Structure 1
C-alpha cells in the first residue's frame, strides 16, 4: 500500500476517491436490460442469465426439493455456526422494536404513530466468487421480525444452474418465501417490474457490484424503494503504535478479498507503523486463496500518515467509510466524535469480520461515502412509520380557527372551508 505523509486537506478529496466507474459508464447498459425485462419478463431474464452467468435455465424458481437436497449437504458444524449467528442477529434486531408514540397535542386532538411492515421485499444476495449466505441472515431475519409478508430472494446461479447450498439452507431457516436463480441487473429489473417467476416488490435490499448498485438506483425511478446505494466493500482502519500490525493487516485484507473494486485505507499517526503493516500485508497476501483479487484491491488502497488524532478524525469523516476500525491509545476520542461511518469496530480484538457474520449488527451498510447521510440496514428499514389522528368536536373547536387562518393566508380556500363547515354545524 502506498504511503502518503501529511497530505494537504485541499488534496483529500482526490486522495480519497473510490476506484469505481461513474454512473454514466454503466447506466446505458442498465437501462437496456430494464427495458428488455419490462417488455419480455422471464425470457429476457433467462437470456441475460445465459449471457452473464453462462448458464441456461429451464426454471428460474428454486424448488422445495432443491432446498431439501442443499440442506442435507451443509455440514452440521456450519449449520451450528449459522444458527449461532442467527440467534445474535435476531436478538439485536428484536431489541430495535419501538413502542407506539401516543400523544394528546391539545384538548380533543389525539395523534399517534405506529410501525407497519413493508409487505413485499426483495433481497439481493451476491453469488459468483463468494456466495454471501451471511447476507441472507442480515436481510431475512429483520424482514421476518418486521412482519414482511412476501420475502423474495434473488441470487445468481453458478455454472451448474444452482444457488450455493449455504444460501438455500439459510434462506429456508430464516423464513424466505420464494427463492429465484437470478442475479445482476436482470434480478433488480425483475423485482422492479415483476415477471412470471419473480414477484414485484415494494423495496429492494442487498449489496452488489457497481452494476447492481446502479440498477437499484434506477429502480427508484419506477416507484420501488431501496435500502441504500450499497456498492463495492470498503474499510478504513485508524491505528497507532499501540495496535498489532498483523491484526490490522488481516482486517485490511479481509475487505480487499471481497473484490478487485474494493478499497481499504489505513490512517495512522506513525509512519513506522504503516511500514510494519505493509510488511504484514505482503506476507499474509501470499497465502490467500483469493490473492489475485485482493492484490487488485490493495493496489487501489493507501496508507495515510497524519500528525495527530484531530486531523485523522477530520479525514475519516471526509471519507465516510462503510466499515471503520479504531485501534489506538485513545479509542474513546474517535468513538465519541465520529460523525460518518456505517459501522464502527473498537479495539484490537474486534475484527470487522465479526460484524460480517455473527456479532449481531447488520453488515449491509452504505458505501461510497453514503454513510454521511444513510444508515445501515436495521429493523426500521423493513417498516414504515404511519401517523394517525383523531379530533373530537371539542378538538375541532379548539384547533379549527388556527387552521382557518393559516389556510386563508396560503390562499387555499377549500382547506379553510373543510374546517368552517364543521364549526358552523357545531354552532347550530
Structure 2
C-alpha cells in the first residue's frame, strides 16, 4: 500500500513539473533509444547475412589451397598483424604440382563414401558480352566453368532445358546455361527459342560459339543483389562445363572447391577429417597446405564477431544512460530542496527514515521507467527504420529491451539513493525552519 501511495505521489510530482520531468528523462530516452536501435540494426544485419550464408549450404565445406606458414606467421595472421605489403610481395605462387587434382578428389570421395554428396568447383574465364543479331539486345555475362555439384551447392534452378551431362563435363563440350536476365535481353524471354540455339560469346577479345543447354532462374538472393548494386554491374553468370573453362584457360587442378556434405553428417567433424586427409597428401609439400572450413563454422564465427561489434557500439551508446542518471540525481536533489518543509512535516508526524528514503527512490525509479518506456519505443522505431533502409530484415532485439528496462530501474535506484538518503537524514526541526 505504501509503495502504491509513493508511486501516486511520484506521478503527481511529475505532472506538476512536466517540462522539468521531460528534460530529466531526455538523457534516459536518448541512451536507451540508441542502445536498442544499435542492437536492433546489429541483430538484423547478423540475421540477414547468416541466413544468406546458410542458404548457400549450411553443411558445405570450403577446401582451399594455402601457403604453409610457420608458427610465428600463423600467430601474426590470426591476430591480424600482417599489415605490410612485403608479405604479399614475397608470397609463393602455387605451380601445377601444388594444385588439388581430380585424382585426389576421386580418392577422397572413395575414402569418405556417402558422407560427400558432390564437389562444387569453378573456373573463372572472364567477363564478356553476347549479342545474337542487330535486332536483339546485348547481354553482359561473367563466363564461369562449373562442376555439376556447383548447381546443387548453390541451388541453381532451371526453368528450361537441362544441366550438363556427365559426357559433356568430361569432354569439355561447348555448351552453356543462360540466365533468365540474359534470356530477356537476347531472346525477348522466349526460352523455347533459346534452348538448342548457338550463341557467340566475346570474352577477352576472343569469340566462342556455345550451344545453349538450358536457362536458369533469376537470382533472388538479397546478398548477391546488394553485391551487384555495389559493383555497379549488370552482368549475370554464364555457366559452361568446368573442363571447357580449363581448356580455354589452359589450366588444370584446383585451388579452391566446395564439398557438399550429406545432411546427416557433422560438417565440422568432416571438415577436420578432410583436412587430415590432405595433410597426409601434402606432407612432403614444403610450401603449401590445404585447409577445410565448414560453412556452419564460418556462420558461427561471423555471428560471434558481429555480436561483439554490436555490443561494443551499444556500450558506447550506453554512456548516455550514465549522463541521464546524473541528470536524475541532480533533479532529485533539487526536488528535495524544494520539498524540505514537506519532509520536515512528515518526520515531525512520525514518518521513519526508511519511509522518506523509499518515497524518493520510488520517484527516481518512476522517472527512469517512464523515460525508459519512451526510449524503448524510440529505439525500436529507429532501429527498424535503419535496418529497412540498409536492406536488412528488421529484428527488434527483445534481449536489449529487457536489459534496457532493467537498467532503467537500476539507474533509478543507484542515482536516486543518494538524494533519498540525504532527505531521510534531514533534521525535522531544521527542515521545518527551512525557507
| TM-score band, normalised by shorter chain | under 0.3
The structure with the larger Rg is 2
Q: Which has the higher contact order (CA 8 A, sep 6+)?
A: 2
More helix by share: 2
**What is the TM-score with the length of structure 2 in the denominator?**
0.21
